[in-house]
Amino acid sequence: MTRLLRGGVRLSDAEHFLLQGSVERLDPEIRDVVVSQFEQYNLVQREVDGRAVNFYKIKLGHGAPLEVSELLAMTAAEAPLIKISVALPGEERPLHAVLTAVNGRAFCLTFDRVPPRAPFGPGAEVTSSTQSWRSEVRAHTRVA
């Protein structure tokens, strides 16, 4: 119901693979907070161009998104957390994704191009990941 009323979508298999690959490779110092946030989200919206998905915790009847129970302690309003590259079977170029936090919560997963609608299949693999959060997020510090 929430998805219908708020214009939400289901993640494609490719988007799910990219999100899971990003979160799994996060440094343990911040991973638990990010996982906790994703467990609370109940709405996903895809950008019109298909190159990003945004995550929200909402309640029907409320206009604004709700806060998650734990926030990342950030020194900036917005910061990339991790960048990954994924090798896809049959494609020469890797697909790149960036998980970004806004105001203390993992909010957006962006892609360098629209991920394929079909599942990646068994040959897809994360070939590199770069922790990008260290200059803007304080580890081991949780804000409630």
Tokens of 1: 């119901």
Structure confidence by residue, pLDDT tens digits, 61-101: 666 788 888 999 999 999 999 999 999 988 899 999 999 99
CB 41 within 8 A of CB 65: no
Task: Give the pLDDT score at 122.
Answer: 85
Verdict on whether the full-model pTM lies above 0.85? yes
Q: Which two tokens stand for residue 11?
A: 């993640």
Mean pLDDT on 99-121 = 92
Residue type, 6: R
Does residue 21 contact residue 84 with C-beta atoms inside 8 Å?
A: yes
User: CA torsion 28→31→36→40, rounded to 10°?
Assistant: -170
- Kindly state the helix (H) or strand (E) to which residue 107 belongs, with its residue range: strand 105-111
Write out pLDDT tens, residues 4-62: 444 578 999 999 999 999 999 999 999 999 999 999 999 999 999 999 999 999 886 66
Is there a contact between 40 and 69 (Cβ–Cβ < 8 Å)?
yes
pLDDT at 36: 95
